[in-house]
Structure 1
């Protein structure tokens, strides 16, 4: 299993989303449990690159040739950041293949013979054990190795509002630190060696 390099062919909007997704995944991936090695871009560097791509993309909407050149330069810089993270994941996977199960990179199309995961069913949210927490359950899905649970506060249509949490199959899915008496959105998808499956429909819950 290798990391997809689809980000190299993405337009500016897709690249902005990719940078955010990869940066969020770095916070939970075991490859970075001892920090970010020298020469590998940090999550903060990816988010800075994302904002630069966003800014230059908006500026280039005027079709000014100078602004378009600046946007292309920002996109090239962003790809270099993603390259450094992708290369480190591949190196880390030699000793721990599980680091490739959740990287935030858009997966390549599934190869023949690798089963596609179906949409998770039965997502349910309950009041958690402490103030501002939630307990989450979902029906068993054959072949799932990891669950990615995302929680959003505010406008659920904005991708930047969703925050990822990773759980190994069998571990209780407990989310802490939620805003009390504020409605949150929850969605979940599974991962197997073919990559990520589809998201479940969002479910809302207001923690107490």
Structure 2
């Protein structure tokens, strides 16, 4: 499931003039809005009080132009209060709208876009494997540079036609990649091997067949 649209929680980033302008849009939009009937739920500031806070904030912004310490402090306090009250209202809007764009638009709040689940998966590379003779007779050792996020490396093996999927058999899974040894094979017999990384989201692609004859 994708994420539903929600009210944006970024009012605190606005400067005073922009916050006031946005607040006026929200207050006007919420007034007599049939989707958001008063009284609001407990914890949500009544619209009349939000209007009062907005008016006080606007007046404080004008007075703060004098740079008087008391006026600047009052402006900051009312700004924080206004943002808090709009935040409560935004939560109420989300609760009612449940992602409905028409209802979100009617509130005057800005809202996020609906997102859909990504269909793009992390594409694991094929392992870069070097094969060599094992220490024991009839052994093969594979060495690979670890891939980011790889949990393990899986080996399949066959002595038949590697183009026939049914010929492949599971050989081993290794959690470390520097010395991956397969033993108990028949010396002088040519084998085809293929490997793939096992990633958190599942197996990656197989390597092309690699041919090796243990001694």
User: What is the TM-score normalised by the length of structure 2?
Assistant: 0.46
